[in-house]
Amino acid sequence: MAEERNLASIDVDKLESDFEADNANFVPLARAYLERKLAEQAVAVCQKGLRKNPAAKDGRLALAMAYYHAYDDRKAEKVAREVVQTQPESAAAAHRLLGELFMERNQEQEAIQELSRSFELDSRDPHTRELLKALGMPAKASGNGVPENFWLPRAAVIPRDLRQPMWKTLVQTLGLAILVAAGLVYYDHHVKVKVQVREHFKKAGTLLPRDNFADLLGAEKELDQALALKKTDEKLVVRQAFVQSLLWLDHAQADRKEKLKAALAWMEDEDLPNPERFALKGLLLTDEGKPQEADKYLEEVINRAIEKKDIFLNGFVFGSRALARLRMGRTEDAREDFNRAARFSGDSPHYQAMFADVYVREGNWFRAVKGFQDALRTNPSHHFSNLRLAYSLLQTGKNLEAVRKILDEYSNPEKVPENALSPPLQGMLYLARGEFALRQGDLNQANDFVAKSIKAYDASAEAHDLAGRLATLNKDGAKATSEFAKALSLDPYLPKLYFDRSESMFELGQKEEALTKLKEFTRHLKPTVAYHVRTGNLLMRMERLDLALAEFQQAVKVDELSPDARFHVGLAYQKMGEALGTSKEKQEEKRNLYNKAREEYENTLILPGGEKAEVYCQMGQIYLDSEDFDNAMDKLAKCALMLQQAGEPGPRIAEVYFWVAKVFKKMGGTEGEKNAKMYTAKAEALRQGKTMEQVEKEFKEAEEKEQKNRRGRRGR
C-alpha cells in the first residue's frame, strides 16, 4: 500500500511537461517510468536527454537502470561500469546494479564483491542488505534512513535455502550436467560463428580499399554474411554503412539509401561514438538539400572530437563535409577536406581521387592530372582515377597516346568486363571516348559516344555539357540550349558548365546573351579568377578592351599570385596597343601600353607556375611589332621549345612558327627570306597533321639533298 501511495503521489504528467520544456529534466521522469514498469519509455527519455545533456547528474546511472529494467543486460552492464569509473556520486547504485547482474548469472563471488562495495559507499540501501543476506553474508549494520535517490530493484530477493533433500540435489546436479553439455555445444557454435564473422570481416577489409565497383559489391556481400551471423555487431554495421554509402554516392545504387537510413537510426539508438554515424547523418542532410545544416553539424562534430575527445574522427567525416561544401559552391574548402580525408585512408585511392576531382571541377587540369596519378600509385587499377585521368588529359590536349591506351584498355571486355563498371563509370568511359573523338575531329563518332554516355548515366552534367558543345558545332542552337540547361539543373556548382554555355552562345552569335548568362555563375559560386578571365576574354573578343581589362584586374584582386590573372592583364594592354595601329600620333601611347604589357608578362614569369610558352609568345609579338627582332626571335624560340618539350600538338607549334617566319621576313636579306620560307613550310606541314619528328626529318633530308646537288654542280 505504501508503494501504491508513493506512486500515486508522483505527477507523471508534470514530469513529462518539465521534460518537454527542458530535456535536462529526464532523470526524475525516467525514475517515474521505471516505478510504473515502463522500462522502454525510460530508455527513450534517457537517450534523448543525454544527447543534449551528457553531463546531467545521475543521467548515465538512469540510463543503466533503464536498460537493466528493460532486460538489456549487456548495455546495462556497459553503462554501469562507465558510471563506476567516472561518476563517484552515483557509484553505489551502479555497484548494486552490477551485483544484481552477477547474482542472476550465478557468479556469487563477483556479486558479493560488487554489493559489498555498494554497501561501503552507502549503507542505507535496504535492497543491498537483502541481497548480501541472500548470498549468505553476515548481517551488516545499516545507516539511518533510505538513500534520497533510491532506485527500485528489478526483482524481489530470493533467500538462499541451504538445506534441501538429497533427491533434489541429485536432480539439480543432473540438470546442471545437462546445462553444461548444452553450454559446451553453444560455446562450440559461438566459437565457430566468431571465426566465420572474423573471416568475412577480413575479406571485406581486403576488398574495400581497392574502391572499385565490383570490390565494393564483394565487400558488401561479405559484411552481409557476417551480419547474418551477428546482427548487432557495431563494427560490422558501421563498416557496412561506409561501403553502402560509396555504392550509393559514387555508383548510383539508389536502393542503398534506405539501408543507410536504417543503419543511422540504429547507430543513433545505440548512441555510438563511431565517426560513421556522424558522417552518415551529414550525407543524408546534404542529400535532403540541407548542405548548410550538414556543414554546421559536421563542424560541431569535428570540434567536439578535438576538444572533448569523447567521439572519433576518420576520413568519412571529412569526406562527408567536403560533399556538403561542394553543394554550397565552396570548392576550395571541399578540396581541403578531401585532402584531410585522404590522410586518414592511405591504403585507399578513394579520397585522393575525390581531392583530384575538385581540380577537375575548377578547370585546373594539370593539378587534376597529378592528383589522379597520385591516387593510381595506391591502386593502379582504380577505375575512377584512370577514367578521370584520361578525361583531364583530354582537356589539356596533351599526352593523347596515354589517353588512347587507357581508353583502349577500358573498351576491351577481356581486360575490363562491362559489369566491372557501374552506370556512372560506364558513362565516364563513353564521355572520355566522346572527348577523344572530338579531339580527333570526328564529330559523328563524338555524337555517338555522348549519346551512349547519357544512356548509361543520364545524371552526368559533364555528358550533357559535351552534348551541348557538339550541338553548337552542328549549329543546333535549340539542342545546345536544352543540353546546357539539363547540365546546369544536375550540377549548378560546376564552373565549366557556365563557361561552355557562354562560349556556345557566343559562337552561335548570341554575344550579349552570352555575357548575361555567364553572370549567372555568381548566383551559385563565388567569383573566381577563372570567372573574371572568361568574362574578360568574351569582352576582348567583342573589342571592349577597357571592360576586359577591368575584369582581368578583378581577377588579380581575387588572387594576386595567379599567373593566369596577371597574364591576361598584360594581354589586355597588348591588345589595346595593337588596336592603335601604325599612326605616328599614337606611337607614344602605344609604346606605353606595350611597356605595361611587358611589365605584367615579366611579373607573370616570376610567379609559381607562371613560366609558360604563351607568355614568351606574346612578348615575342610585342618585340616584333616594335621591330626589336633579336628579342622577338629569342622569346619566340623559347615559346616553341617549351611547346615541343610539353608535347603540345603540331597545330599549336605551327602558330609560333608562322610568327618566327614573320620575324625572318621583317629582317629581310637572302638568309631572312630563306628562313622565312622554311618556317612557313614547317608550319604548314604541322598544321596538316605531321609530327615534329616527321617535319624535322623531311627538312633534314631535303637539306642534305640540296647540299649534295650543290656539290655536284661545283664538280661539273
pLDDT more than 90, % of the chain: 65
Query: Is 515 within a domain?
Result: no
Q: Which domain holds residue 87?
A: 2-134
Residue 333 lies in a domain: no
Largest CA distance in the chain: 141
Q: Which pLDDT belongs to residue 122?
A: 87
What does the pLDDT read at residue 4?
Answer: 40
DSSP letter at 139 equals: P
- Looking at 134, 164, 199, which one is the last position of a domain? 134
Three-class SS of 517-581? HHCCHHHHCCCCHHHHHHHHHHHHHCCCHHHHHHHHHHHHHHCCCCHHHHHHHHHHHHHHHHCCC
Tell me which of 161-175, 408-422, 564-578 is least confident.
161-175
Q: Which of 540, 577, 576 is nearest to 555 (CA)?
A: 540
Confidence of residue 5 (pLDDT cuts 50, 70, 90): very low
CB neighbours of 603 closer than 8 A, spacing ≥ 6?
A: 566, 570, 610
Q: Are 50 and 63 in contact (CB under 8 A)?
A: yes
Pairwise CA distance, residues 247 & 424, whole Å: 11
pLDDT band, residue 621 (cuts 50/70/90): very high
Three cell numbers at 188? 562450440
Q: Are 322 and 341 in contact (CB under 8 A)?
A: yes
* pLDDT for position 140: 66
What 3 state SS string does 205-220 have?
Answer: HHHHHHCCHHHHHHHH
pLDDT for 185 equals 55
Residue 143 scores a pLDDT above 80:
no
* 716 in any annotated domain: yes
Domain membership of residue 384 (yes or no) is yes
Q: How confident is the model at residue 713 (pLDDT cuts 50, 70, 90)?
A: low
pLDDT confidence bin for 175, thresholds 50/70/90 = low
Does residue 387 sit within a domain?
A: yes
Is 455 part of a structural domain of the chain?
yes
Mean pLDDT of 235-240: 93
Crossing angle for the helix pair 461-473 and 443-456, to the nearest 10 degrees: 150
| pLDDT tens per residue, range 55-69 | 888 999 999 999 999
14: CATH? 1.25.40.10
Cα(89)–Cα(412) distance, integer angstroms: 70
pLDDT tens digit sequence for 693-709: 887 887 787 777 777 77
- 356 part of a folded domain: yes
Report the distance separating Cα 172 and Cα 4, nearest Å.
Answer: 38
Rounded to 5 degrees, φ, ψ at 421 are -110, 130
Query: Is a pLDDT exceeding 80 seen at residue 427?
Result: yes
Question: What integer is the mean pLDDT of 149-168?
Answer: 61
User: Is the distance from CB of 515 to CB of 538 less than 8 angstroms?
Assistant: yes
Identify the domain boundary among 119, 134, 149.
134
Q: How many domains, in total, are found in the chain?
A: 3
- Asked whether residue 26 is domain-assigned, the answer is yes
The domain boundary residue, chosen from 134, 164, 188:
134
What is the average per-residue pLDDT within 203-216? 95
For the chain, what percent of residues have pLDDT higher than 70? 91
**Whole-prediction pTM:** 0.70
